[in-house]
DNA sequence: GATAAATTGTTGCACGCGCAACTAACCAGC
DNA sequence: GCTGGTTAGTTGCGCGTGCAACAATTTATC
């Protein structure tokens, strides 16, 4: 039974580390994006996700899953961004319940100016986290997750 | 310059994975703890952190850092838990600005009943995440972070 | 084709959060 | 001891979020 308890404790420890690093990055990135681009982290996430689809449309539900947000929060998030002219709703023809969203020109423009801010805040937060002994292992493990397969 | 861009993109990818996994775990654990123990995730985190100090006292500020919460949120979080009789404020004598918090008996009791719920929700969420190809690598990397050094 | 069931997205409401401004207590320097 | 500056914790306020209930559309069953 000791072995099983160990597994539980190891998972809990990993989760605490994950949550701590997430909180550190998110809060510092939130401030940077908010003051320099008038964007919250989730708003940036949406713009970035839409841009990454590149011409492909995303439904509200996919947006909700990509941001871990409830349907209602997704609705209002899209409302805010639409009111600012950063994206547009597109009723899709084959399923009239569904709603696609698409970046506008000023949306991709704002994303382009926000990306360097996002990237720098991320690098900065990771550097700070690397100095904390309980977070350093996770910081070092992150880049190795999606290791590039050496070109053949 | 391509190399530097790669590093930025790899960091961003790691951050997206981290955020996605965090959101998945947090939202599923939130529901479990909320319905079965009337506790939010942060509230559980506080009780757990206090219990882990085991007799040692924590200041509000430390609590705020442990939960990545603002000072005001920390105050109200402690208020809620104190109103429910789960912890008590203790004015500390040598610095009369500082406030220590301590688990009450019913606080540790509730924590004891909530821990299995927390652990099971975590295991369940990790299992689900392991089935998603973009999250699986991080799920597998987590337990290895604080690897036990083989006894010499 | 009509009805039931499931799915998609939107609104009313209460609640927890961060920011800014504030009070209280400590800590220089003199 | 008193003044200026810093730190710890608390409140007012606006805002974003989840939950539950809802309207609109699709899909299944007969």
pLDDT digits (tens, 9 = 90+) for A57-105: 999 999 999 999 999 999 999 999 999 999 999 998 899 999 999 999 9
Q: Regarding beta strands B58-59 and A87-91, do their DSSP bridges make them parallel or antiparallel, or are they unpaired?
A: unpaired
The whole-number pLDDT of residue B148 equals 64
pLDDT of A152 over the 60 cut: no
pLDDT of B7 over the 80 cut: yes
pLDDT of B2 over the 60 cut: yes
Chain A residue closest to B135 (CA)?
A: A145
The whole-number pLDDT of residue B150 equals 61
Chain B interface test: which of A30, A124, A146 (most B C-beta within 10 Å): A146
pLDDT of A55 over the 90 cut: no
Encode pLDDT of B23-75 as tens digits. 999 999 999 999 999 999 999 999 999 999 977 899 999 999 999 999 999 99
What tokens does B11 get?
A: 């960091």
Chain A residue closest to B138 (CA)?
A: A145
Q: Which domains does chain B have, with CATH numbers?
A: 3-148 (1.10.10.10)
Chain B positions touching chain A (beta carbons under 8 Å): 7-8, 10-15, 17-27, 45, 66-68, 118-119, 122-123, 126, 137-138, 141-146
How far is Cα B109 from Cα B45, in angstroms, rounded to an integer? 15
What predicted TM-score, i.e. pTM, was given to this entire model?
Answer: 0.94
Q: What is the 3-state secondary structure (H, E, C) of A26-78?
A: HHHHHHHHHHHHCCCHHHHHHHHHHHHHCCCCEEHHHHHHHHCCCHHHHHHHH
Closest nucleotide to B64 by C1' from CA: D9
């Amino acid at each position: 039974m000791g072995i099983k308890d160990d597994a539980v404790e190891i998972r809990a420890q990993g989760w605490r580390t994950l949550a701590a690093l997430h909180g550190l990055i998110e809060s510092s990135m939130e401030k940077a994006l908010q003051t320099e681009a008038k964007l919250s982290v989730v708003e940036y996430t949406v713009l970035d996700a839409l841009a990454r689809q590149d011409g492909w449309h995303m439904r509200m539900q996919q947006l909700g899953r990509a941001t871990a947000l409830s349907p209602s929060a997704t609705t209002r998030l899209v409302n805010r961004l639409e009111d600012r002219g950063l994206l547009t709703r597109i009723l899709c023809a084959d399923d009239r319940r569904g709603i696609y969203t698409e970046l506008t020109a000023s949306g991709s423009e704002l994303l382009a100016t926000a990306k360097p801010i996002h990237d720098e805040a991320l690098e900065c937060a990771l550097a700070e986290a690397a100095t904390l002994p309980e977070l350093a292992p996770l910081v070092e493990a992150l880049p190795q997750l999606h290791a590039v397969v050496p070109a053949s």
